[in-house]
Amino acid sequence: MGTKIKELLNGRPITWLFKKTGIHRNTIKSYIDGKIPTLKNADLIADAFGVTVYEVCPKLISVQYLQEK
């Protein structure tokens, strides 16, 4: 699992997050299915839920760090 979006949705439909962020529903679905979001999209999602980027996708921080090396 790449993100915690499904848990954060807490029963809300994907369209709710789409309306809050402008991120296409198919893209959100791919994140739920395990794809790691871009930092920009993770930030938009975190803002929608009122949480940190780390709470949306703990693996993102590690991936970004490794790409910088």
Distance, in Å, from the CA atom of 24 to the CA atom of 65, rounded to the nearest integer, reads 26
Per-residue pLDDT of the chain (69 residues), as tens digits, is 568 999 999 999 999 999 999 999 999 999 999 999 998 999 999 999 999 998 998 887 665 545 554
Q: What is the DSSP letter of 34?
A: T
Domain locations in the chain as residue ranges: 5-68
**CA dihedral over 22, 23, 26, 31, signed as positive or negative:** negative
- The whole-number pLDDT of residue 69 equals 44
Q: What is the DSSP letter of 51?
A: S
- Would you tell me which CATH number, out of the four given (3.40.50, 1.10.287, 1.20.120, 1.10.260), belongs to the domain 5-68? 1.10.260
